[in-house]
Amino acid sequence: MAQTGSANRFGLRSRIRNMSDTNLLTSITIIVFLVMYLCAMIFLQKGFLKPQTLFNILNANASLIILSCGMSLVMITGGIDISVGGVTALVSMCCAVYLDYHGGHVVGAILIALGIGLLFGLIQGYLVAYLEIQPFIVTLAGMFFARGMTTIVNTNPFNVANEAFVKLKETRILIPFLGSYNKRGVYVDAYVEIGVVIALLIVAVMFVLLKWTKTGRSFYAVGGNRQSALMLGVNVRRTVFLSHLICGILAGIGGFVYFMHVGSGSASHASGAEMNAIASSIIGGTMLTGGVGNIIGTLFGVLSLALIQNIVSSVGLEEAWWTGITIAAMLCVFLIVQSLIMSHRKKSGMAESEQQSRGG
Amino acid sequence: MTGKLKAPNTNPIGSLFRHQIFIPLAALILLVLFNLIADPSFFQITYGHNSAGNPVLSGNLMTIIDCGSELAILAIGMTLVTAASGGQDISVGAAIAIAGSVLLRVLCGSESRPTELHAPIFVAFLVSCVVAMLFGAFNGILVAGFKIQPMVATLILFTAGRSIAAWVNNNELPIVSEESFTIFGGYIPGIPIPTPFFIALICFAVTWAVLKFTNLRLYIQSVGINEKTSRLNGLNPAVIKFSTYVLLGLCVAVAALIKVSRLSTINYSVIAKDIEMDAILAVALGGNSLSGGKFNMGASILGAYVIQFLTTTLYKFDVQSDALSAYKAIVVIALVIFSAPVVREKMAAAWKKLRAPKSIRHQA
C-alpha cells in the first residue's frame, strides 16, 4: 500500500488512500466523537463544559469498555461472542451472594469473577475452535445458560452491604486541576472510579497485544483469511481458542467492574450489554467479517455511543424510545458509510493494480 | 455432509442417521421417552369448556401445538433467510412488536379502549403485513444492497424496534375488547383445537406449495451455496436475498397477529422476547447449516415444535420461567456437540474400528 500513489505523497487524499482499513475506520470514529463533543459543548453548554461529564461517561461505561475489548478481539478473529452480557449478570449475582450471604472477602469475589469468566472462555473456546461449532450458536447457548444460572443462584435483586466491598465501591480517584465549582461555588474535585482505571489499563494492554506481538498479529491473520493464515504457519485453532478465552476472562473482569459500579446483584443486570458491545465495536471500526479492527477505535466507539445517549437526554427528548432510535440510526449510518468506503476502496484498489500491471 | 454420501450404504438405519431430519426427530423421541418415564400423565388431553363456553381440548400436547405455532411460522422465514444470506435475522422479536403495535393502532385509532373497532381486522392485518414487509425490506436492502453481514444489519432494527413500536402507539397500551379478535390466538367457536395451529398449518401448506411448484428453493440454495456461480448462471443474488427478508417480514406479521390476539393488547418490552433466539435455534436444530446453502423446511418446523416441547416439559417440572434458559442451553449444547461434523466423524471412525475385523475378512 505504501508504494502506491507516490506522485502526491503528502496530499490528504493520498494519505487517506495509503491508510490501512483499520486506521481509516478508527480515525473516522475518533473524528466523529470529537465533533459530537465539540458540538455538545458549543450548543448545549451547561454540563458538557465540565470535565466531570466526560468522567461520568467513563464511570458508567467502564465495564462496557472492557466487554467491548473482548468483543473486538473475537470479531477481529472472525467470530462473535454474545454471552458477555449474561456472564456480566452471572458474575455480579455470584459475587453479591458470596459477599452478603456467605460473608466472603473481596479478594474471593474477584477470584470468583475471574473463575466464571475463565470457565466460559475455556468451554466456549474449545467448542468453537476444536469442535468447529458456529460461534454464534455456542455463545448463544452460553448467554442462555448464564442468564438462567443467574436466576438459579438467586431470584431477587438485592444491594450488597458488605463493608469492605462498599469501601472499595466508593473509592474515588481524584483528578487534579479538572474539578469545577458547583452551584454554591464550592470547588469539587473531578473523580473517576477504580473501574475506569482498570478499563483503561486493559485497553492499553490489548492495544499492545494486538499491535506489537506475534500472537496479536495472528488474530488479524486468522480473521482476514483462515486458509492463508494456516499456510503461513499460524496455529488457527489455537488462535481462535485464545480469542474466546481472552474474551471470556475480560467478560469476567468486566462483570466485576460492573458489579463495583452498581453494587447489587440482579438477573436483569447488563441486559442487552452484548448488543451494545457489538455496536460499539462496529462503530469503532471493527468489521464482523474479521481481520479489521482496532482497540482504540473500540474505546471511542463506546464513548460515542454513551455520548449520543447523554446528548439525546439533555436535549430534552426524555421519552425512553429516543435512545433506542438514535443508537440504531447512528449504527445504521456507520454501517452504510463503512460499507460504501470499503467497496469504493476495493474498486479503486482494483483499478490501480490493473493500471500497474498494464504499465509494467 | 455431501462427502459422506460417497460411501455406499444400504443399511436403512445408517441412512436415517445421515438424514437431516434425524436430529430434531431424535430430540423429539428423547423428550417423549423422558416424559413417558418421568410422568405419563404429561400426554393426557382433557375435554372441557373455556370461560366463553366453547368446547376446548386442554393438556400439555395442546399447549405445545398452540404456543409452538408462532415459532414454527417464524422458523419458515428464518430458514429462507439463513439459507440465502448465510446469516440470521435477529430483529424478528422487535419486528413483531412493531407489527403488533401497528395492528392495534389501526384497530383502535388513537383511543386506548375503543368500544368498537375503527377498521375491519382484515384491513388492520394487511396494513401490519405491509409495515412488517417494509421493515423486512429495510433489512434486505442493508444485507443485499450494502453487503452488510445479516446479524449486524438486523442489529439496527433489533435496537430500535421496540422503541419504534412504543412510538407508534404513543407508548399507550390499547386494549381490544372485540370478541372476534381473540379468535386468532384462541379458539374458533365449536372447534376444540387452538386456532394458531390452523394458521400455522395454512402457512406450512402455502410454503410447501411455493417450494414445490416454483424455483424458489433452487434459487435460494444456489445463492446460499455460491453467490458468484449463481450470478454467472443468470440469477440475481441481491434480489433473491432481498426477497427472503421480505418473506420473513410476512411471517413476522402473521406471528404478530397471533401474539397480539392472545392478549388482546401489547406490551412493547415483553412481547415475543427472545423469540429470535428460539427461531434461530429451530433452524439449527433442524440440522440446517447456519452459514447458508441447503435447507430442509420440514426439519426446521419440527425443530420449532421440539423447542416448544422442551419448554413445556421444563415448565411441567416447575422450572421457573427465568431459569428455563439455563436448561435449554444445556440441551442445545448437547445437541450441537452431537451433530457437529467433527464429532460425527470421530464417532463414525470409532464405529468403523469396532466393525473393522469383519470388514477386513470381507475384503480378503
Residue B48 dihedral angles phi and psi, to the nearest 5°: -160, -165
Of A203-212, B6-15, B65-74, which gets the smallest average pLDDT?
Answer: B6-15
Say whether B152 and A288 touch across the interface (CB within 8 A): yes
CA distance B91 to B158: 4
* Each residue's pLDDT tens digit, A27-42: 888 888 898 888 888 8
Do residues B58 and B46 make contact, with C-beta atoms less than 8 angstroms apart? Answer: yes
- All residues of chain B having their beta carbon less than 8 Å from the beta carbon of residue A127 are 333, 336-337
Q: Which of B322, B337, B340 sits opposite A267 (nearest CB)?
A: B322
B155 close contact with A: CB closer than 8 A: yes
CA distance B294 to B83: 6
What one-character DSSP code corresponds to residue B142?
I
When pLDDT is cut at 50, 70 and 90, the band that residue A67 belongs to is very high
Of A19-33, A39-53, A224-238, B349-363, which gets the smallest average pLDDT?
Answer: B349-363
Say whether A279 and B162 touch across the interface (CB within 8 A): no
Would you call A227 exposed, middle or buried from its count of C-beta atoms within 10 A (0-12, 13-18, 19+)? exposed
Above 50 in pLDDT, residue B2? no
Q: Which amino acid is at A250?
A: L
CA distance A66 to A270: 13
Judged by DSSP in three states, A319 sits in coil
When pLDDT is cut at 50, 70 and 90, the band that residue A89 belongs to is very high
Q: Which three cell numbers stand for residue A39?
A: 458540538
CATH assignment of A21-342, among 2.60.40, 1.20.120, 1.10.10, 1.10.3470: 1.10.3470
Q: ∠ CA B271-B268-B101 to the nearest 5 degrees?
A: 95
pTM, to two decimals = 0.81
Q: ∠ CA A132-A137-A143 to the nearest 5 degrees?
A: 125
B55-59 and B45-49 beta bridge pairing: antiparallel
A9 compared with A41, residue with greater pLDDT: A41
* Each residue's pLDDT tens digit, A134-179: 888 788 889 889 988 998 888 888 888 888 888 888 888 887 776 7
Domains of chain A, by residue range, sit at 21-342
Tell which of A71, A119, A133 to mutate to test the B interface (max B CBs under 10 Å).
Answer: A133
Residue A166 dihedral angles phi and psi, to the nearest 5°: -60, -35
Do residues B316 and B42 make contact, with C-beta atoms less than 8 angstroms apart? Answer: yes
The interface predicted TM-score of the complex, written ipTM, equals: 0.74
CATH architecture of B2-7+33-41+60-318: Orthogonal Bundle (1.10)
* Closest by Cα among B99, B89, B91 to B283: B89
Q: How many CA atoms lie within 13 A of B81 on its CB side?
A: 35
Above 70 in pLDDT, residue A11? no
When pLDDT is cut at 50, 70 and 90, the band that residue A16 belongs to is low
> Nearest C-alpha of chain B: how many angstroms from A104?
25
The dihedral sign for the CA sequence A253, A258, A261, A266: negative
